[in-house]
């Protein structure tokens, strides 16, 4: 949390400094604040995930300072630094889903069938490097990004189901719907610190200073390390962002 607060203060200081100093006319500085919505998901719905019961929207925010330079004709480059929160909470029904969990103080592993709740929360610093194309009041942009996670959590519990220890024919362990009878898991320590992906979006300048923007980011690396095998499917961060921007110069 301290890292997040310090990062917010750094971004605020950058915005104030950018508006106070004499920025070259060839550079365009923009401050942004937006809302991220999305989640971490496999590519394609595996057969072991039978139903998505609920998706809870959480307070995901994005703050950023970008600098853009027009290079030739309508083309240019954009980069910057963003402080982002990307999280989700889902409730799903699964069948023969490979899991490792703790129940009654004992660690068990096997094939789980029943309800599963997953919560994911990530705070990160993101550096985009994007090509831009200017068309009137619009600025279209696309390119890669790299993120460093300052905070990472991935945890949850299972309920109203059962686990077959080892394989689908192993001993059956029942899971209830009260706290003492559930199975819990926490895979935050298995998450990557670095994430890479692509970002596509557009800015629309409404007035001389204010505008709106939208982006879609798609992670090319899974949120967990490659050595993590408890969840068989690779989970990728896929998020959309909408927000407002202020042109500093």
- CA–CA gap between residue 96 and residue 175 (Å, rounded): 14
- All domains in the chain, ordered by first residue: 2-247 (2.40.160.20)
Q: Which residues contact 204 (CB under 8 A, 6 or more apart)?
A: 137, 138, 139, 211, 212, 213
pLDDT of residue 178: 87
Compute the average pLDDT of residues 220-227. Answer: 94
Summarised one tens digit per residue, pLDDT across range 155-209 is 999 999 999 998 888 999 999 998 889 999 999 999 999 999 999 999 999 999 9
SS (H, E, C) the chain: CHHHHHHHHHHHHHHHHHHHCCCCCCEEEEEEEEEEEEEEECCCCCCCEEEEEEEECCCCEEEEEEEEEEEECCEEEEEEEEEEEEEEEEEEEEEEEEEEEEECCEEEEEEEEEEEEEEEEEEEEEEEEEEEEEECCEEEEEEEEEEEEEEEEEEEEEEEEEEEECCCCCCEEEECCCHHHCEEEECHHHECCEEEEEEEEEEEECCCCEEEEEEEEEECCCCECCCCCCCCCCCEEEEEEEEEEEECC
> Of 24, 202, 234, which is closest to residue 130 (Cα–Cα)?
202
pLDDT at 6 over 70: no
Q: Which residues contact 94 (CB under 8 A, 6 or more apart)?
A: 48, 49, 50, 112, 113, 114, 115, 116
Summarised one tens digit per residue, pLDDT across range 37-86 is 999 999 888 899 999 999 998 889 999 999 999 998 899 999 999 999 99
pLDDT of residue 142: 98
Q: What percent of the chain has pLDDT over 70?
A: 90
**Average pLDDT for the chain:** 90
pLDDT of residue 25: 63
Summarised one tens digit per residue, pLDDT across range 118-132 is 999 999 999 999 999
- CA–CA gap between residue 155 and residue 112 (Å, rounded): 16
CB of 160 closer than 8 Å to CB of 191:
no
pLDDT at 23 over 80: no
pLDDT of residue 173: 94
């Amino acid at each position: 949390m301290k890292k997040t607060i310090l990062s917010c203060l750094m971004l605020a200081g950058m915005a104030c400094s950018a508006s106070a100093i004499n920025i070259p006319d060839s550079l365009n500085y923009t401050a942004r604040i937006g809302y991220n919505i999305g989640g971490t998901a496999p590519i394609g719905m595996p057969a072991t995930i039978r139903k998505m019961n609920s998706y809870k929207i959480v307070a995901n925010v994005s703050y950023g300072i970008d600098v853009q330079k027009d290079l030739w004709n309508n083309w240019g480059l954009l980069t910057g630094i963003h402080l982002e929160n990307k999280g989700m909470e889902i409730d799903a029904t699964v069948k023969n889903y490979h899991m490792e969990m703790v129940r009654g103080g004992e660690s068990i592993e096997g094939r789980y069938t029943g309800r599963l709740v997953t919560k994911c929360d990530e705070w990160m610093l993101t550096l985009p490097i994007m090509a831009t194309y200017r068309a009137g009041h619009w600025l279209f942009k696309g390119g890669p990004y790299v993120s460093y996670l300052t905070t990472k959590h991935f945890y949850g519990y299972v309920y109203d189901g059962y686990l077959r220890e080892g394989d689908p024919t192993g001993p059956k362990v029942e899971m209830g719907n009260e706290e003492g009878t559930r199975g819990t898991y926490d895979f935050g320590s298995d998450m990557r610190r670095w994430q890479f992906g692509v970002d596509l979006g557009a800015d629309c300048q409404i007035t001389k200073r204010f505008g709106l923007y939208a982006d879609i980011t798609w992670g090319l690396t899974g949120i967990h390390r490659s050595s993590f095998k408890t969840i068989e499917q690779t989970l990728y961060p896929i998020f959309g962002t909408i927000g407002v921007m202020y042109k500093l110069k």
